[in-house]
Structure 1
């Protein structure tokens, strides 16, 4: 009897139900997700022996989801479910670290055989664990430099590249009062010749996103000097 856990990421209800029934019959522990966002949350909240990942998903594509998984986890096996003739998806998926793929429509016996083969390879591979995530934190705010993820509480914060750079610099200098010239040079570069008010503008942008659902601000103005990022109290 199998006891491996498998995350099924598939938005077509009939295929999802078929996979669930067949895998549970084989003894696997199954959890389902119907879109990319739901799948990302399920991936983060569990520990999986294998992920069956459809490429065409609403919310977040299977390829983008695989990219986010592989940015911090090279260990969990992933089998892609791809459309017939989608060579680009297959190549992209394999380049990003997918272990295998199967083309729709497929025979369930072939998929089960591929699952068994991938799980055997995983079992005989040298012991390894997913790379530890390294987060910069300030209270309920955390930022992962490797994956460029920014979270506040349970909320993922979407930042532009320059907003991210600004927040990263403030976090790396947490509890230090930074004047506008320091921030300007670190984030925009010493050869920036634009308006220095750009610092105030971007601090306002970042604050709005960080504090949207929260009462306690993280970035504080030090009047006449600049800004400081401190743990929320």
Structure 2
């Protein structure tokens, strides 16, 4: 029982025999596998758990694999996705990759090849995460944010309690330092799948951040609105 789990994998496949065979082989390789048989089950699992990789069929009940991939990317979820498809035509392959999949295998496939690709995607993602994660505490311009405690100490030593959504938006902007984060990405990443508050809501959050963290809120150094596109954090 002390065997270390190599990674958490979400397996989304509605064909039961193939699903069970894949699950067994992945577990023999030391992976922890969560099963989903429909698109909605996949969404629920992704909401509830962290995964290092998703292996997903295109043709699924309720919501197809391409739509799931596209939705996750809009939500700024960069989990690696390996798509499985019975369709062996280049248009599907291109569409899958275009919508954000990292790799693509056509059924029937060689099990050894699948396991090699799985390992490669997980290792590549771990390297990226090691570089990009901002951790629980982040400091800038004499401001200090503690994401775990959901609080901040500002440049003038004011203590501020952050709401959950403020913390999520701050983390999203900080992790994408010097890059514009689109309104769509923010709305789905912070407010969730298919919940759309108005753009004014995000504007109000950005105004709050300027009040908290900028020495001159009218002439911001850190938090910027990019007209018609989104928002950006710069240092």
Q: TM-score, normalised by structure 2?
A: 0.57
For the residue of structure 1 that corresponds to 2:10, the secondary structure is strand
Q: Quick one: distance in 2 between partners of 1:151 and 1:115?
A: 29
The within-5 A match list for 1:1-233 is 2-125=5-128, 127-129=131-133, 134=169, 145-146=184-185, 149=188, 168=198
For the residue of structure 1 that corresponds to 2:132, the secondary structure is coil
Q: Which runs of 5+ in 2 are unaligned?
A: 135-166, 171-182, 205-235
Q: Quick one: distance in 1 between partners of 2:31 and 2:12?
A: 15
Q: Quick one: distance in 1 between partners of 2:201 and 2:8?
A: 37
Q: Quick one: distance in 1 between partners of 2:186 and 2:44?
A: 15
Q: TM-score, normalised by structure 1?
A: 0.57
Q: Quick one: distance in 2 between partners of 1:150 and 1:72?
A: 4
C-alpha contact (below 8 Å) 2:40/2:63 kept by paired residues: yes
Q: How many residue pairs align between the two structures?
A: 156
Q: Quick one: distance in 1 between partners of 2:85 and 2:106?
A: 5
Q: Quick one: distance in 1 between partners of 2:189 and 2:132?
A: 26
**What value does the CA root-mean-square deviation take over the aligned residues?**
3.1
Q: CA deviation at 1:119?
A: 1.6
- Correspondence for 1:231: none
Q: After superposition, what is the alpha-carbon deviation per residue over 1:184-228, rounded to whole angstroms, capped at 9, x for unaligned? A: xxxxxxxxxxxxxxxxxxxxxxxxxxxxxxxxxxxxxxxxxxxxx
Q: After superposition, what is the alpha-carbon deviation per residue over 1:30-50, rounded to whole angstroms, capped at 9, x for unaligned? A: 001001111011111111110
Q: CA deviation at 1:146?
A: 2.7
Q: Which runs of 5+ in 1 are unaligned?
A: 136-143, 159-163, 175-233
Structure 1 or 2, whichever has the larger Rg, is 1
